[in-house]
């Protein structure tokens, strides 16, 4: 476990965790994103969180994939089992991941950050992004970057407040994603 704060830890995800990962994403992804999809996000969850895909992602060089766990009371994150830490999301980072617009820079990517909507606004996202930035600096990276959906104003505002700037606009090619939600920005920050 990696301690982020007195309320937040990261627990590495293993292939054996795939059923837990799948169930977690079925719980936390739809409240934030189901309206983006013709099938309410089922295709996304059913394809990205399979055992086969998880194994592939875990084998990526420089990739680190975590459950985000908090010691908040379980009732605050809609779980029925009370324990010291409750799983509230996922976080994936990739070291030495080329930023397409500045390929000459040693770059660090925040690949996934999903939090249960019931705990958003409590500072956990900011703590995770600060952790990523600190880790990127400590490992000699010159730039940190991520992708953010254009039609997700809350996320765009959050990253802007953290000092990320827009790079180029790209388009997701997921067939079941409504066309209005396909534009995605590269967001980056020099370290």
Residue spans per domain, the chain: 2-190
Output the pLDDT for position 82.
46
How would DSSP label each residue in 173-188?
Answer: --TTB-GGG-EEEEEE
pLDDT at 120 over 50: yes
The architecture (CATH level 2) of 2-190 comes to 3-Layer(aba) Sandwich (3.40)
32 pLDDT band, cuts 50/70/90, is: very high
pLDDT at 165 over 60: yes
d(CA 46, CA 5): 32
Mean pLDDT of the chain: 93
Cα torsion through 147, 13, 34, 39, rounded to 10: 110
Strand, helix or coil at 171?
strand
- Give the global pTM: 0.90
pLDDT tens for each residue of 66-78: 999 998 655 555 5
Strand, helix or coil at 148?
strand
């Amino acid at each position: 476990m990696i301690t982020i704060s007195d309320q937040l830890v990261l627990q590495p995800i293993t292939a054996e965790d795939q059923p837990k990962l799948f169930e977690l994403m079925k719980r936390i992804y739809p409240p934030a994103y189901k309206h983006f999809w013709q099938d309410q996000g089922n295709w996304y969850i059913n394809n990205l969180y399979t055992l086969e895909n998880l194994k592939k992602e875990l084998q990526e060089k420089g990739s680190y994939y975590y459950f985000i766990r908090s010691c908040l009371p379980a009732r605050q994150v809609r779980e029925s089992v009370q324990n010291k830490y409750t799983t509230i999301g996922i976080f994936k980072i990739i070291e030495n991941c080329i930023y397409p617009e500045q390929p000459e820079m040693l770059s660090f990517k925040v690949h996934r950050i999903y939090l249960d909507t019931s705990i958003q606004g409590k500072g956990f996202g900011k703590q995770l992004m600060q952790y990523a930035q600190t880790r990127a600096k400590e490992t000699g990276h010159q730039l940190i970057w991520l992708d953010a959906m254009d039609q997700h104003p809350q996320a765009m505002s959050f990253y802007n407040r953290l000092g990320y700037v827009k790079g180029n606009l790209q388009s997701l090619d997921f067939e079941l994603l409504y066309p209005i939600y396909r534009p995605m920005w590269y967001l980056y920050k020099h370290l």
